[in-house]
Chain A
Amino acid sequence: MKFDFTLILPELVQLLIILGLFFQTLKKPGTENKGVFSLGWLPWAAAAGIAVACFSIRQSGFLCWGAYQVDGLSQFFKMAVALGFAITSLNAMSAPMVKDDKRADYFLFFALSSFGLMLMASSVELITIYLSLEIASYSLYAVIPVRGEDPRAAEAGIKYILFGAAATAVALFGLSYILASQHITYLYLLAAKSWAWADSPLAVTGITLFMIGFFFKLALFPFHFWCPDVYDGTNNETAAYAATLPKLGAVVILIRLVALLKPEIEVITILAVLSAASMTFGNLAALIQTDVKRILGYSSVAHAGYVLVGLVAASPAGLSAAGFYSLIYLLMNLTCFWVICSLSTDGRNLMLDDLNGLYKRAPYLAFVLAVGAFALVGLPPTAGFMGKFFLLTAAWNRGYNWLIIIAALNTAISIYYYLNIVRHVYTQESEGMQQEAPRSGSAIWGGLLAASLLVLGVIPQSVLRWMEEATRQMMR
């Protein structure tokens, strides 16, 4: 089998970025990041990565004897990962809590993790999926504790690695069950098997356990316990990464797994129950938080539940809605994190009270944060509404209407804490203390992110159609 390198152009670009960063980590400690060690090239390279990923969207084919598939779905998610990597690395360029010595290593870990996520997008064989999951996770385990000398970050790192290790162990255990019962690891062959409890309880148990590895990445209830603590403890910029990109990887694998299940089977019911529990728990827990990152942490637990609504639909429309929503989720969260990172110029955690009077200090950032928060609510005309609308529409009359009603009611719960953010930004006056100006240039990029949310909210057509073609191709 000939290995066609043109199929994996996005991965190659990402590899080049990794190599470049690796070279830069070889710098003598204590010297400045100048000349060949300057990191200024990284956002440009990442932008080139987006361009290449967009350029290669029409690619399709198999590599590595059918274990690695390049199709519409994988290319969509590779584009999303490249986009997220570019935004998060631009965001972290001047991360205040990262020592200059460590900067290149810091980005190296980001880049490696993104590379692993790109591999996940294309993996169509269980062991390959497992390996790319590990590539995506390991570097993240290393990067979570990087926060100056802060002990909370070390705690977050430990929590993340322990939970992560346990979850992946469970996934591996599940894989062994699948292998034992179905005797095969290729997804396209697994699709032909029966996944009903009556036919093969071992396989159903196995796939459920296997999915847990990805529920952990997605921070789905009850595998979410790491999420608020890790966001809270780690660097703001790292949290921006950990909150967004790994979820893309989890969603793409779950989409592939659900596509091989028929909609009637029991696993879908498990998904539906977890989805309802996750959104309800996430939203209720977020109500009482005062740390903005913890709010976003619990909000991501809730959003994991929303994404699962699309998977529960188990139709091309539902899966494409889930994929679309995960892209929107990436943009919404990065918009909010962008503002948080811009405001926290000394790298501390922002409390809700720190946002007081933001509309006076930085009116544009205040607007960007408001757009981000309202998008997370799912309020039109932002993309958050469109994403949620597609999810609910796709899942209606697929047998889980109670889930849709719970999802709709959850919007009403969630509005309170998102609105609380906006309320602090717009109505509270900052008390006495003079707060430092946000970092320069942040309004422009933040504005672009907010604009992308508004534009996708009005004309989601092109992006969604791309995703729809991908899922239709996959479920054929």
Chain B
Amino acid sequence: MPILSILTYFPLAACFILPFLRNEKSVRVFTLLVGIAEVFLALPLFRFSMTTPDYQFVEKVAWMPQWGLTYYMGMDGISLLMVLLTILFLPLCVLCSWSYISKRVKEFHFCLLLMTSACIGVFLALDLVLFYIFWEAMLVPMFLLIAVWGGPERRYASVKFFLYTLAGSTLLLVAIIALYKAGGTFSIPDLTGQTFPFRFQFWVFLAMALAFAIKVPMFPFHTWLPAAHVEAPTAGSVLLASILLKMGAYGFLRFCLPLTPDASVYFAPMMIAVSVASILYGGCVALGQKDMKKLIAYSSVAHMGFVTLGIFVFTMRGFQGALMVMLNHGITTGALFMLVGAIYERSHSREIANNMGLGKYLPAYMFFFGLFALSSLGFPGTNSFVGELLVLLGVFKANPWVGAAVIPGVMLGAAYMLRLGQKLAWGEPTQAMAWKDLNAREWSYLVPLAILVFYIGLAPGLILRAVDPTLNRGLERFTLRPRPAIVETVALPNTQKGVYAGLFSLSR
């Protein structure tokens, strides 16, 4: 049975039933049911074998053979985690926008389902073009989520989001075409086994890294993120933080490292420097924010800095840590955005100053907020601790100086999160007295995430077991790869030389 295709296209198919539903409530219930059904559809994934690094549940159908396109889907440990995260967040997003979204409900859920389909597709596609199609297809619903249901500056934010991400990925398409012409296939597993000349890798890495760095986002390319986060509706922010940002890191792991390993090594110092800059810069800026969503958005920049840092130190611990931070950032930051959305429904403001003094009047809310804030700063026993610890282990193993540079970033995390939590809990209440504490619906979407925070924090073994074979082989291939000479003494076949040589010469 094509499990992966069913998982990918089930939300898309469900979209087409939405126009026939009469009232808003039935739309919400229907989408929620789709989300829950999607969780059940994911049950066959339990057959996922944790001992093999190979792609599993593979589906391969010829699509356009003369152009080398195949419909190729498959799942390894990395995509398993990301897909489960995506599936988890669909019903939660429906729940958290239950009363937040009151206009154009049908279209909203339409976009939500489209997003889910496209995101799952991104993580499962093993054909470069298929990947690119899902990667770009996800932009439109996300753009609409921000542009239609967003805050007052939504037009600016949505266009900025779209321009940044699309501008980044146009060169990704060129890189994909170059890889096809050099390697003869669009299939990622087949390309992984090949060795490309260094000059070729150099350009391809740059083209791909630009797309992924914008998506992550890494330090100089991060400016779209705070704008998009602040203006997006809650569900939009949650999807953005939990899933979209992961695609960039996923891209680094899936494409840059296996396809252009030598260029990755060559550029690693730069990537590490940019990651450290992201961590420190994101933390510093978060410290000064008055808007809760903006604060969390900048904290995302810092957290994603840990992910790219973990990836580019090329150690097993670093890889594991990067994946754990990806997963944990998804859970924790998603939950924090949901909490901000919940309090926004009460105060109609995201300013910290307008939401102070919740500790006394909304204890349950404050409990969850405190929990996720602690998790976000990497408190031992919560999920983020595992990830950050692993990344730091990897970094210190690779280079203690880089590790030392990151430590202030960890402390900054504690500073801005605790400051936020302290103001929210014990600040002078302005209007919190009249508000009601969490209702059943809000409990229902926070509890699963809280359970995950503790589960991953206390027993990360299962998750690490799932990704270890994949990462192990990735690292093995990476360290044992045949090295092409930096300076090519032997003439290259024309197809490979052309990529670089043709760049500046007008005629062949």
Contacts and interface: CB of A to CB of B under 8 A. Distances in A.
Contacts of B23: none
Contacts of B352: none
A399 B166 contact: no
B140 A374 contact: yes
Interface string A387-416: 001101100111111101100110110011
Given A374-B140, A380-B137, A392-B173, A399 B508 contact: yes
A468 interface: yes
B148 A415 contact: no
Specify which of A397, A398, A408 lies most central, judged by the most chain B CB atoms within 10 Å of its CB: A397
Interface string A438-474: 0000000000000000000000110011001000000
A269 B133 contact: no
Contact of A399 (B137, B177, B505): B505
Specify which of A377, A381, A393, A415 lies most central, judged by the most chain B CB atoms within 10 Å of its CB: A393
A379 B118 CA distance: 13
A411 B159 contact: no
Given A412-B167, A415-B162, A402 B502 contact: yes
Contacts of A422: 143
A408 B163 contact: no
B178 to A, nearest CB: 6
B181 A397 contact: yes
Specify which of B147, B148, B177, B498 lies most central, judged by the most chain A CB atoms within 10 Å of its CB: B177
A12 B86 CA distance: 57
A461 B166 CA distance: 26
Contact of A404 (B134, B140, B174): B174
Given A397-B181, A399-B498, A405 B136 contact: no
Contacts of A381: 133, 137
A144 B64 CA distance: 41
Contacts of B450: none
B55 interface: no
Nearest to A364: B19
Contact of A465 (B66, B133, B136, B147): B66
Interface string A334-376: 0000000000000000000000000100000000001000100
Contacts of B155: 423, 427-428
Contacts of A461: 63-64
B401 interface: no
Nearest to A263: B508
A464 B67 CA distance: 10
Nearest to A460: B64
B177 A419 contact: no
A353 to B, nearest CB: 14
A408 B173 contact: yes
B177 A392 contact: yes
Contacts of B144: 426
Contact of A419 (B148, B159, B178): B159
Contacts of A468: 66
Nearest to A392: B177
Nearest to B505: A399
A396 B181 contact: yes
B139 interface: yes
Nearest to B495: A397
A419 B149 CA distance: 17
A226 interface: no
Contacts of B495: 397
A281 interface: no
Contacts of B163: 412, 415-416, 419
Contacts of A107: none
Contact of A389 (B139, B143, B173, B508): B173
B502 A464 contact: no
B100 interface: no
Contacts of B503: 401-402, 405
B171 interface: yes
A385 interface: yes
A195 B309 CA distance: 56
A381 B69 CA distance: 14
Contacts of A400: 502, 506
Nearest to A411: B170
Contacts of B170: 408-409, 411-412
Contacts of A404: 174, 177
Interface in B145-163: 147-148, 154-155, 158-159, 162-163
B129 interface: yes
A150 interface: no
Given A423-B158, A426-B147, A393 B180 contact: yes
B136 to A, nearest CB: 5
B177 A379 contact: no
A402 B162 contact: no
Size category, A interface? 35 or more
B499 interface: yes
B498 A405 contact: no
B507 A264 contact: yes
Interface in B101-154: 129, 132-134, 136-137, 139-140, 143-144, 147-148, 154
Specify which of A399, A422, A426, A427 lies most central, judged by the most chain B CB atoms within 10 Å of its CB: A427
Contacts of A266: 507
A148 B340 CA distance: 58
B16 interface: no
A405 B504 CA distance: 11
B286 to A, nearest CB: 29
Contact of B499 (A370, A397, A412, A416): A397
Contact of A401 (B64, B129, B499): B499
A288 to B, nearest CB: 15
B133 A385 contact: yes
Interface string A245-264: 00000000000000000001
Contacts of A411: 166, 170
Contacts of B133: 380-381, 385
Interface in B168-217: 170-171, 173-174, 177-178, 180-181
Interface string B486-508: 00000000110011001111111
Contacts of B498: 396-397, 399, 401
Contacts of A393: 67, 177, 180-181
Given A402-B502, A408-B174, A385 B136 contact: yes
B502 A399 contact: yes
Interface in A103-127: none
B177 A264 contact: no
Given A415-B162, A423-B155, A269 B136 contact: no
A465 B507 CA distance: 29
Interface in A419-442: 419-420, 422-423, 426-428
Contact of A379 (B139, B494, B505): B139
B158 A427 contact: yes
B181 A426 contact: no
A427 B148 contact: yes
B294 to A, nearest CB: 21
B117 to A, nearest CB: 11
Contact of B140 (A269, A379, A397): A379
Nearest to B494: A397
Contacts of A389: 129, 173, 177
Given A266-B507, A381-B137, A396-B499, 8 more contacts: A269-B507, A396-B174, A396-B177, A396-B181, A402-B502, A408-B170, A408-B173, A411-B170
28 contacts: A264-B507, A359-B148, A379-B136, A379-B140, A380-B133, A381-B137, A389-B129, A393-B67, A396-B178, A396-B498, A397-B494, A397-B498, A398-B502, A399-B505, A400-B502, A401-B502, A402-B504, A405-B171, A412-B166, A412-B170, A415-B162, A419-B159, A426-B144, A426-B147, A427-B147, A428-B155, A461-B64, A465-B66
Task: Rank and list the top 3 A-B pairs by shortest CB-CB distance, nearest first.
Answer: A399-B508, A401-B502, A380-B133
Interface of B: 63-64, 66-67, 129, 132-134, 136-137, 139-140, 143-144, 147-148, 154-155, 158-159, 162-163, 166-167, 170-171, 173-174, 177-178, 180-181, 494-495, 498-499, 502-508
